[in-house]
Structure 1
Amino acid sequence: MDGVSDDGAVRSFLETLEVGDLCTGVITAGDPSRAQAVTLDGFPTRALGSLGSADTVWGRGRTETYEVGRRITAGVVAVDLDEGRVRLSTAAAEHPELWAFLSRCRRGDILSGTVAAIESFGVFVALDDGPAHPVFPGVGFISIPELSWQYFDAVTDIVRTGERVRCEFLQFDTWNGEARLSLRATQPDPFRAFAAGVEVGRILPGTVTRLVPFGAFVRLADGIEGLVHPTELE
């Protein structure tokens, strides 16, 4: 097989794979403490799979090493068609129920659950239809920007522990084994309605809410704030 046709065969094979798929194969090269090459069943002529030292059990590090010649089952974390590589994670085999649940979720799905924990970086949600997470308080996670369209000082201004929420599924976070969620996506975007009713040059009344080194924030309507640059304040 020449180089051009071989590259075409690699691309065709990788196009059959999607993030969340389970693959089997054999580790053919590499150091267990670093990246290892994996020859996938279905394409034995080249090691297309890559298993890194961090691509293992979520949050706890590798529980066992995988020597050359070892057969493994792993989940597809990413597919790079241009480089002809597929990144794998053995976490899928460690927690098949969790991996299967997250693989079934599709962007736009509405998932319900209970706020399990609030952290400075986001909110964990225990999903009604999802399994428990092996490390985190909930399998669902809402980042700070996805909590609300409106500015808020504290996460507890939006949600509290134990509160019931309905969120939109954004993506399967294969690194942490989480369902990335958006609470604000289930609410109307106030900026769209606001922008539809104003035009450039119109004079708008507002209330200054914060002064910062780079200007002043002005509330123009409920959920709508604008920034006035220092050069425009005089």
Structure 2
Amino acid sequence: MSGTVSAIERFRVFVALDNGPGHPMFPGVGFITVPELSWRHIDAPTDVVEVGQRVSCEFLQFDTYNAEARLSLRGTQPDPFQAFADRTTVGQELCGTVTRVVPFGAFVEVGDGIEGLMPSAEVHGRPASGPVESFQPGDNATFVVTDIDRQRRRLVFSRAQEAPTLDEPDKP
């Protein structure tokens, strides 16, 4: 379905559809929830669309209670996570940038909006008890892919083992 972005709210975008269903107050209205705007993480709907912009969307369902069409903008685009998962294997080392540090770990971007979690336990070798002290947003490092969950679109990383130096003997 195609139409024009007519209003942007915090949690959804309203689209005046070219050939949309009737609505008691706003004929031909559809809406796109924030998760359906993009495959990538966004901070606000205005990161993707603006009022007056023409869009083509995938029809998801019709909300009979509100007489609105539920739409998806991301449904018209290929999923970058699936393409990433096709070319990545568990155990593979990747360079990444820490985007956020939270009490249970650090989020790491490994390319073009593809982000995964490195749990605190993977950093310290113990259960998570606080923020990951060894990382700050913007830090670059090498990480190992420990899990790829295609269905839930999730990646899990651990810190890559650094090669021992000549001064340090290998530890068993």
TM-score (norm 2): 0.68
Percent same amino acid among aligned pairs? 69
Flag the structure with higher strand content: 2
1:189 to 2:89 alignment: no
In the alignment, the residues of structure 2 paired with residue 152 and residue 125 of structure 1 have an alpha-carbon distance, to the nearest angstrom, of 19
Q: Deviations over 1:152-183 (max 9, x none)?
A: 11110111111111100001111211110000
- Structure 1 residue 233, shift from structure 2 partner: 2.4
> Is 1:225 matched up with 2:120?
no
Determine which structure has more spread, i.e. the larger CA radius of gyration.
1
- CA distance in structure 1 between the partners assigned to 2:69 and 2:81 by the alignment: 26
Structure 2 residue identity aligned to 1:232:
E
Number of residues paired by the alignment? 124
Whether 2:106 is the aligned partner of 1:216: answer yes
**Counterpart selection for 2:67 from 174, 177, 186:** 177
Q: 1:192, CA displacement in angstroms? A: 0.8
1:125 paired with 2:2, answer no
Gaps of 5+ in 1: 1-110
1:137/1:226 CA distance change after superposition, 3 Å = farther
What is the root-mean-square deviation in Å for CA atoms of aligned residues?
Answer: 1.6
AA matched with 2:112:
D
User: SS at 1:145's partner residue?
Assistant: helix
Q: In structure 2, what residue type is equivalent to 1:213?
A: P
The structure, 1 or 2, with the larger RCO (C-alpha pairs under 8 Å, 6+ apart) is: 2
TM-score, scaled relative to structure 1: 0.50
What corresponds to 2:32 in structure 1?
Answer: 142
Distance in 2, matches of 1:195 and 1:161, equals 34
Instruction: Classify the secondary structure of the residue corresponding to 2:82.
Output: helix
Amino acid paired to 2:45: V
Tell me the residue number matched to 1:108. none
- Who is 1:42 aligned against? none
- List runs of 5+ in structure 2 lacking aligned partners: 125-172
